[in-house]
Structure 1
C-alpha cells in the first residue's frame, strides 16, 4: 500500500484503518484470543519493544498500542510508540534510527508502505532484533500471511482472505433469503491502491463463483459515510433492484441512510462498536471484524518469546484471534462488542 507525505494519501490510509476494527467479548473482559498473563514469555530478562504504528492519533493504531503496552508491562518489558503520522518515509527513518540506537530487542511494525520498509526491516533483522509485522504485510504480496522478509514474524490480516470472506458473507446473505438471482453491489475501497484491488478481486471471485449470485454493480465506495452514500445513490440509479450491498463499514453506514425502507441486506468490513451493534440489532446481515487490541498483545507476546530464545510460529494470521474467524454474523457476534469506536 503506497503512502506518500501528501494529506490525501494520509487520509486514504486513515480511512483504510477503519476497516478492520476490534471485537471483544465483554463477558470475560478479555479480548478474544488474548495471551494469558504469566506465560513463559516472562523468562529471559527485561526487554524493550519499539512499536512503529501508523499514527498515534489513529484509533486503530492506538488500539494496537494499548495491547502491546499492556502485555509488555505484565511481562517484564517496556514499550515505546514511534509516531510517523502516516508518513512512510518518516517511518522508515524511525526504524533505521532505532536499529542504530541499539536500545530495543523487539520491533512491532505496522507498515504504512509495506515495500518501503523492507530495507530497514532487513537491517533490523541483521542486527539481531526480533521483528513482528503486524496487520499489514511487509513486502509487496497481498495474498499470503507468510513472511516476505526472512526472519520476520508475521501477524497480519491477509487482504485477499479479507476479500474472500466478504464475498462469502455476501453469498450467505443471498442464501438467507433464497434469492435466485441475487443481485449484489460491491462498494470497493480505492481503485488506486494495490491492497484494495487485491481485496476486491478476491471478493468478486467468491461472489461470481456462486450460481445464482450476480455482481450487479462494482463501484468505488471509499471509507466515509459520505462516499458510501453517494456510491449507493449511483448504484440505485442503474440497479434499483439490488439485494445485497458489501463495503467498508463506513461506506455501508452511508449506504444504509439511502436504503431506508428498502429490503436490502448489508455486509460491512469493520468491527467497530457501531458496526457490531448494527449486526446485533439486525440492521446489517454481517460485518468482518478482528480484535486489534488483542492483536497488539499477541504481537508483543510473539516478539518477546522469540527475543527470549523460545520457538514461535513465524507465520500467523489475525483471523485466528477473531470470533467466527472474522465472519461477524449475528450468531458469531452474540455477546461481543467492539474494542473502540470508529
Structure 2
C-alpha cells in the first residue's frame, strides 16, 4: 500500500447495497458478545478503522481495497487505514487507541501477532467497538476460527495449518523419485505465531519421508530483497537444491532472482509461493513455479467490512467465514489447475 493511504480517511459514495452471499451459519451479534459489551445498534454513517499489519504490503492493500469497495456499496460507511508496520506493539497500541477515541464504530484487523494482540481486544469490547479479524484468528488457538476473545465478532480466515500441509504434500509427491530430495524452506518470521505454525506444518509432512532433507530454513520477512539475500546465503552452503518451499509470493519472487542469477532453471525445481498475487499466478502459468497457495484478500476485505457493519447495526453476523471459499480456484493452484481457470489473475499485486 502506498504511503498516501496511511492514516487517511476515505469517504466513499453510494452506489447501492450488495448482499455478500456467505455459506457459514449466521448468528445474532448478542450471541457473539457478552451482554455487557454488545455494541449498540447504530443507524446513519459509520466509521470503520482498518488496522493493517503493514500498509506498505500489497496483501494488506488488497484487503483495504476490498473493504472500501464494499463500503462504496453501502454509501454511508467510511474506512480509515492504520499502518501496523509489521510491528506487534504498534498494532497493539492502535487497537487500544482506536477503541478509546470514540471516533470509530468498528475495526477490521489484519493481525501481526494474533496471540499477543488478543490482550488489546477487551478495550474494544468495553468501548462496544466490534472487531472482525482477517487472515488469522485472534487468540491462543491458532487453528480455531470461531471467535475466541470477547470483542471479536467474526473471523474471515482459513485453516493455515491445513493449507500449509497441502502445500508440503505437493513437495512429497515431487520428491517421490529423488533421494536425496534437498529442500530449502523460506518462511516469513518465525517469531510470528502463524509463521511458526506454518513451518511446523511443513515439517510434520516432510519429516516423515527419509529421502527428503530440509537443508536450510531462511526468513524472508515477506520482502523481496530480504528473501533474495536469504536465498543467496542458502545457496552458498547448499548450491544444489531440488525444492524451494516458500509461504509468501514476495519471498519467492526475491528468491527467484537469486536462483536464476546462480544459473538455476526453476522449471527443473519444485518452487512454491503463497498468497496468489498476480505475479505468482503468471509464474505458475509459465511453469517456473510448481504451485502456489492462493488467498483472496480483496474478497476477505469485503466480507470483513460487511460483518463489522452487521454487528454495528444489529444485524445477523457470520462468526466464521472460510476464506478458502471466497475465490473461484482451489487453495493450491498448479499450471494444470490454472489451465482450467484461464481468466483468474489473482486478487492482489505486490
Name the residue aligned to 1:319.
324
Name the residue aligned to 2:3.
none
Name the residue aligned to 2:292.
287
Q: Deviations over 1:169-219 (max 9, x none)?
A: 3234446xx55664433233334443322110101112234x575134232
Unaligned runs of 5+ in 1: 1-35
Name the residue aligned to 1:169.
170
Work out the CA distance in 2 between the residues paired with 1:54 and 1:108. Answer: 11
Name the residue aligned to 1:26.
none
Q: Look up the SS of the partner of 2:113 in the other structure.
A: coil
> How far 1:75 sits from its partner (Å)?
1.8
Name the residue aligned to 1:195.
194
2:84 corresponds to 1:79: no
Instruction: Note if contact 1:154-1:316 (Cα within 8 Å) is conserved in structure 2.
Output: yes
Instruction: Note if contact 1:216-1:239 (Cα within 8 Å) is conserved in structure 2.
Output: no
Name the residue aligned to 1:38.
18
Q: Look up the SS of the partner of 1:198 in the other structure.
A: helix
> How far 1:122 sits from its partner (Å)?
1.6
- Single out whichever of 222-231 and 301-310 deviates more from structure 2: 222-231
Name the residue aligned to 1:62.
61
TM-score relative to the length of structure 2: 0.74
Unaligned runs of 5+ in 2: 1-15, 22-40
Work out the CA distance in 1 between the residues paired with 2:93 and 2:219. Answer: 33
Instruction: Note if contact 1:269-1:288 (Cα within 8 Å) is conserved in structure 2.
Output: yes
Q: Look up the SS of the partner of 2:128 in the other structure.
A: coil
Name the residue aligned to 1:6.
none
Work out the CA distance in 2 between the residues paired with 1:188 and 1:215. Answer: 17
Work out the CA distance in 1 between the residues paired with 2:74 and 2:223. Answer: 39
> How far 1:74 sits from its partner (Å)?
0.6
Name the residue aligned to 1:27.
none
The count of corresponding residues between Structure 1 and Structure 2 is 303
Q: How does 1:186-335 map to 2 (within 5 A)?
A: 186-209=185-208, 211=209, 214-222=212-220, 223-233=222-232, 235=234, 242-247=241-246, 248-253=248-253, 254-255=255-256, 256-257=259-260, 258=262, 260-261=264-265, 263-333=268-338, 334=341, 335=343
- Single out whichever of 233-242 and 146-155 deviates more from structure 2: 233-242
Q: 1:286 to 1:302 in 2, by over 3 A?
A: same
> How far 1:63 sits from its partner (Å)?
1.4
> How far 1:225 sits from its partner (Å)?
4.1
Q: 1:142 to 1:104 in 2, by over 3 A?
A: same
Q: 1:88 to 1:187 in 2, by over 3 A?
A: closer
Higher-RCO chain (CA-CA 8 Å, sequence separation at least 6): 1
Q: Look up the SS of the partner of 2:337 in the other structure.
A: coil
> How far 1:301 sits from its partner (Å)?
1.6
The alignment yields a C-alpha RMSD, in angstroms, of 3.2
Q: 1:259 to 1:275 in 2, by over 3 A?
A: farther
Work out the CA distance in 2 between the residues paired with 1:191 and 1:74. Answer: 39
> How far 1:274 sits from its partner (Å)?
1.2
Instruction: Note if contact 1:47-1:104 (Cα within 8 Å) is conserved in structure 2.
Output: no
> How far 1:108 sits from its partner (Å)?
1.0
> How far 1:121 sits from its partner (Å)?
1.7
> How far 1:166 sits from its partner (Å)?
2.2
Q: Look up the SS of the partner of 1:52 in the other structure.
A: strand
Work out the CA distance in 2 between the residues paired with 1:214 and 1:91. Answer: 39
Work out the CA distance in 2 between the residues paired with 1:89 and 1:326. Answer: 31
Name the residue aligned to 1:111.
111
> How far 1:291 sits from its partner (Å)?
1.2
User: Which residue of 317, 339, 342 corresponds with 2:347?
Assistant: 339
Q: How does 1:103-182 map to 2 (within 5 A)?
A: 103-152=103-152, 153-174=154-175, 179=178, 182=181
> How far 1:323 sits from its partner (Å)?
4.2
Q: 1:151 to 1:91 in 2, by over 3 A?
A: closer
